[in-house]
Copies of this chain bind each other. A is one copy, B any other.
Amino acid sequence: MHGEIAPGQSLTLRGIGADFGVSMTPAREAIRRLSAEGALTMSSSGRVSTPELNNERIEELAALRSLLEVELASRALPRAHIALIDRLQSINARVAEDIARQDAVAYIRRNLEFHRTLYLRAQAPAMLAMAETVWLQLGPTMRALYGRLRRKDPPHFHRLIIAALKAGDEPSLRLAVRSDVTQGLRMLVG
């Protein structure tokens, strides 16, 4: 999910088991679970690797993020009190630090933490789980994107999200979330 593994990297049961000091069995179960969520692809022979997404698939997953996360943000809005907004702002500050440090993995993790913190307030666990499944599928690809894109600016749309939350402005919030979610992936496709 955090882009620590590059797209197309192949994984073996015995290798994962050795990495974590366990036998094949727990590694198998973990891989089975991740495959079920679409985070790993299994070849016909049962070999697993992180997916290499084509542009169509990336656009589809971006559309899914947009659908799910706009709804989650919308549901979180009425419950978003000042304490939550403060936390979002502090997370956002750390996002800026990660960008300054050019640490792609930390940036992705913190960015997702920003989103998850907001969506937790939606009180919609199934919906949040689906959003996280999409994140999982995009993880390796996002790393490839943000590793390439060497930007310095702190995330613009995060500020818009926070502003819309403060104002209690649902249409603006929906637009800001959609923009934030789509923006990064749009340039990966382009």
Contact = CB atoms under 8 A, between A and B. Distances in A.
Interface of A: 28-29, 32-38, 56-57, 60-61, 63-64, 67-68, 71, 123-127, 129-130, 133-134, 137
A48 to B, nearest CB: 13
A126 B137 contact: yes
Contacts of A33: 32-33, 35-36
Contacts of A71: 63, 67
B126 A60 contact: yes
A59 to B, nearest CB: 9
Contact of A29 (B29, B34, B133, B134): B29
Contact of A32 (B32, B57, B63, B129): B32
A32 B30 CA distance: 8
Given A33-B33, A38-B126, A57-B126, 18 more contacts: A28-B29, A32-B36, A33-B36, A34-B36, A36-B36, A36-B37, A37-B37, A57-B125, A60-B125, A60-B127, A63-B71, A63-B127, A64-B126, A64-B127, A64-B130, A67-B71, A126-B134, A130-B130
A76 to B, nearest CB: 13
A132 to B, nearest CB: 12
A66 to B, nearest CB: 10
12 contacts: A32-B33, A33-B35, A33-B36, A38-B126, A56-B123, A60-B126, A61-B126, A63-B71, A63-B127, A64-B127, A64-B130, A130-B130
A20 B88 CA distance: 50
Contacts of A68: 67
Given A33-B33, A68-B67, A60 B124 contact: yes
Contacts of A29: 28-29, 32
A140 to B, nearest CB: 15
